[in-house]
């Protein structure tokens, strides 16, 4: 049994990284997120500062059991999920489920699957970034709160099956679409025209020259004189 257990998100990365690190490391995948807000109700205790209620995601029970067993047999557990809010949150959920201390568990990141990059990451571990974790949690909770209220409205208003969901992003998109639709419906058509003219004038040497002038678009309430007067003034100088 290897002394160290390193957990990544992707199973495709696991075998390659394990070859780089050697016999002291066993690399396993958590296959992405392992927990999510429970489906019963909203999954959020609004009365207790919006505290989320997490459960192991469907289909991830076997993965969690295996990781728990391996973590219990390992001297050290390393977390190597992606370096973004989602990846940081996955590492935190792994700490919660596997009984790891987020303040002492080693967290590593790398941006390429090469031996030097993996070795450098192992040599410079850091702690879990709870700012990223909390940012992801806030986003997920907001998605659920908005979606929980807005999705039934979409189901009533749009003739589709009840699998269309809404959230913080979709709700903004719906508002933009609604506002644009109101602008289209309130638009009043108005005719406009564009003027072009070719003029002949005499330059300072007495030679005749021809030039073309073009006006912008005018509507019915504007006079063509706005275009012609400045041009005519030029020709009479």
Token pair for residue 126? 């850091």
Determine the average pLDDT of the residues in 52-80. Answer: 95
Query: What pTM does this model have?
Result: 0.68
pLDDT in tens, 177-197: 889 999 999 988 877 777 788
Domain 4-134 top-level CATH class:
alpha beta
* Residue scoring higher pLDDT (216 or 117): 117
Q: What is the dihedral of CA 103, 105, 110, 115, to 10 degrees?
A: 150
pLDDT at 47 over 90: no
The residue ranking higher by pLDDT, 30 or 40, is 30
pLDDT at 172: 72
pLDDT of residue 162: 57
| Predicted local distance difference test score (pLDDT) of residue 192 | 75
Tell me the percentage of the chain whose pLDDT exceeds 90. 54
User: Residue 67 and residue 27: Cα distance in Å, rounded?
Assistant: 10
CA distances from 227 to 8, 82, 214, 219, 233 (A): 69, 62, 8, 12, 11
Nearest to 28 by CA among 98, 96, 85, 84: 98
For residue 193, what are the β-bridge partners? 218
Separation CA 75–CA 153 (nearest Å): 52
**What pLDDT score does 237 carry?**
47
Q: Would the pLDDT of 132 be above 50?
A: yes
**How far is residue 44 from each of residues 101, 138, 145, 208, 223, measured CA to CA in Å?**
24, 11, 8, 83, 64
Query: What's residue 27's pLDDT?
Result: 96
**pLDDT of 210:** 85
């Amino acid at each position: 049994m290897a002394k160290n257990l390193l957990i990544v998100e992707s199973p495709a990365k696991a075998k390659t990284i394990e070859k780089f690190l050697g016999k002291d490391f066993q690399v396993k995948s958590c296959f992405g997120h392992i927990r999510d807000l429970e489906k019963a109700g909203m999954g959020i205790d609004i009365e207790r500062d919006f505290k989320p209620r997490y459960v192991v995601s469907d289909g991830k029970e076997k993965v969690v059991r295996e990781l728990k067993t391996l973590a219990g047999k390992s001297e050290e557990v390393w977390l190597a999920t992606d370096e973004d809010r989602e990846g940081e949150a996955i590492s935190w959920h792994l700490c919660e489920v596997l009984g790891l201390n987020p303040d002492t568990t080693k967290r590593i990141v790398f941006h390429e699957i090469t031996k030097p990059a993996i070795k450098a990451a192992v040599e410079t571990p850091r702690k879990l970034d709870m700012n990223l974790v909390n940012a992801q949690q806030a986003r997920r909770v907001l998605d659920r709160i908005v979606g929980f209220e807005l999705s039934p409205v979409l189901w009533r208003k749009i003739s589709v099956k009840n699998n269309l969901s809404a959230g913080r992003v979709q709700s903004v998109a719906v508002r933009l679409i609604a506002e644009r639709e109101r602008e289209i419906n309130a638009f009043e058509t108005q005719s406009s025209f564009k003027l072009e003219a070719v003029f002949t004038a005499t330059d300072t040497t007495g030679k005749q020259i021809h030039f073309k002038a073009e006006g912008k678009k005018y509507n019915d309430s504007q006079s063509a004189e706005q275009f012609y007067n400045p041009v005519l003034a030029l020709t009479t100088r």
